[in-house]
Amino acid sequence: MIECFFYLFIPFFVFIALGVPIAFSIGLACLTFMVFSGIPIPWSSVIPEMYSSIDSFALLALPTFVLTGELLNRCQLTQKIIDVATLMVGWIRGGLGHVVVVSSMFFSGISGSAIADVAAVGPIMIPAMVKEKYPRDYAGAITAAASIMGPIIPPSIPMIIIGSQLGISVGGLFAAGVLPGIMIGVSLMILNYYYAVRYGYGTKSEFKGVGAVTKGALQAIPALIIPVWLLGGILFGIFTPTEAGAVAVLYTILVGGLFYRTLNGRQLYESLLAAAKVTAGALVIVMTAFLFSKFLTYYMVPQQALDFLLGISTNRTVIILIIIALFLFVGTFMDALANMIILGPLLLPICVGDAAKGIEGLGMHPLQFGMLLNTGLLLGLLTPPVGLCLFVTAPLAGVTIERLSMAVIPFLIAETIILLIIAFVPEVSLFVPRLAGLVK
């Protein structure tokens, strides 16, 4: 354990403090450990171990879902989704704030990425909100907060990685994300309504009727139907999540190229290039973080972490609250994806248990733990100094990171409340998988 602290954790935090990218910080920390710890680790086994972490059929879904999101952005389908959301909820007090949330919910079912949600919805909705006299920091804050639904409402890129690394059903995680994602969306809309009423944000508009909503939905149905048949196909066993990603790419190319005629060869090339860069970056993090977690497992850090938590308290509620506090803390200075890969194997036996090692754990279902891990660490996208969604949103809103960080706090609190519900109410994560027959 001492070797882990001096030769693994300290170098890692030093590299992070020096501004070294997260994947290389993890890799250099592992290298430092191998060179200076004195532990005889065969160098010839390192590369095969790293390769084995990405040699997964489930991970094949990663590039396909990333590519689907890139293609949809370039097919200009975002505006059609926003138009439908505007017809549905734009007439409610605080209308454009609601439109941001509902648009993000729709787009979440397609992209699987928080950054993609901000990049798609933000450039359109933030200027529109500012034009209607919403404060710039508020417009940016609700856009950034709503983007968190991207990796929660299926499909989800982080869920693919969590499932493949921890041996949890990716299809089950997709199903488990439906209800928590909707709950986050509703909580943001309630908060937005409160602010709109209290401070007079936005302008009033009339509901244009069910007919107008239906017409708008029909025009956007090629895009809106994607999450329906993707999730439906997975839940009913028509295809696996990996196969679903490939089907989604083919469908998006056909819709963009033949139906809407907004996708050309250059956009296809740019989408492939962007998807390759995102996938490569994610896989480097997966490989180095997997090696990091291997070293932690070798020194039985999960068992020692459990003993430490039990030393603080044996109360299940207190331990869960400590874990949630840990998520919020590490999210302020580490990338969410790296956190998931490092903390996942560390906390899985604590939360779920491990019969083979005699660890009883807290009795969580693996799907509930997956949702707790995913949602808790995604909140780090909204906390400085590593909050990627803040960095993407701030220039779109024309405000500083500091102003945006303060404005997002109420929304962050609302999402933390949903996180607590996920932690203490198992059915929030298990209701849809149980309905689909994935959980008994």
Four-residue CA torsion sign, 360, 362, 366, 372: negative
Other beta carbons within 10 Å of 184: 29
Average confidence score pLDDT of the chain: 84
What would the pLDDT profile of 144-194 be if each residue is shown by its tens digit? 999 999 889 888 888 988 998 888 988 899 999 999 999 999 999 999 999
Q: How many CB atoms lie within 10 A of CB 208?
A: 14
User: Phi/psi at 133 (nearest 5 deg)?
Assistant: 75, 20
> Distances in Å between the alpha carbon of 148 and those of 299, 340, 366?
34, 15, 21
pLDDT of residue 188: 96
Q: What pLDDT band is residue 422 in, cutting at 50, 70 and 90?
A: very high
| Whether pLDDT at 236 is above 80 | no
Q: Is the pLDDT of residue 252 over 90?
A: no
Name the amino acid, one letter, at 351: C
- Does residue 406 have a pLDDT over 80? yes
Indicate the pTM of the whole model.
Answer: 0.83
Burial class for 19, CB neighbours closer than 10 Å (0-12, 13-18, 19+): exposed
Q: What are phi and psi of 200, to 5 degrees?
A: 70, 30
Whole-angstrom Cα distance, residue 177 to residue 194?
26
Question: Across residues 105-119, what is the average pLDDT?
Answer: 77
Angstrom distances, CA of residue 56 to CA of 14, 25, 371: 32, 24, 21
Tell me how far apart the alpha carbons of residues 127 and 28 are, in angstroms, rounded to a whole number.
42
CA dist., res. 67 & res. 429, Å (int): 27
Q: Which residues of 308-334 are buried (b: 16+ CB within 10 A; e: fewer)?
A: ebeeeeeeeeebbeebbebbbebbebb
Share of the chain above pLDDT 90, in %: 23
* Selected residue with higher pLDDT from 55 and 303: 55
Rounded Cα–Cα distance for residues 403 and 410 (Å): 13
Residue 374 binned pLDDT confidence (cut-offs 50, 70, 90): very high
- When pLDDT is averaged across residues 80-95 and rounded to a whole number, the result is 87
Cβ proximity of 153 and 106 under 8 Å: no
pLDDT tens digits along 187-225: 999 999 999 999 888 877 788 888 888 888 888 788 778
Bridge partner residues of 359 (DSSP): 354
Q: What is the pLDDT of residue 72?
A: 76
| Of 171, 78, 174, 155, the residue nearest 113 (C-alpha) | 155
All residues at 6 or more sequence positions from 163 whose CB lies less than 8 Å from its CB, including other chains: 58, 169, 170, 172, 173, 241, 370
Residue 385: pLDDT band with limits 50, 70, 90: low
Phi, psi of 354 (to 5 degrees): -145, 100
Residue 61 is predicted with a pLDDT of: 77
Per-residue pLDDT for 288 more than 90? Answer: no
Alpha helices in 55-113 (DSSP H): 61-74, 78-89, 95-111
pLDDT at 409: 94
Which candidate, 196, 198, 217, places its Cα nearest to that of 208?
217
Q: Which residue has the tokens 């509930």?
A: 368
Most confident of 152-161, 207-216, 376-385, 428-437: 428-437
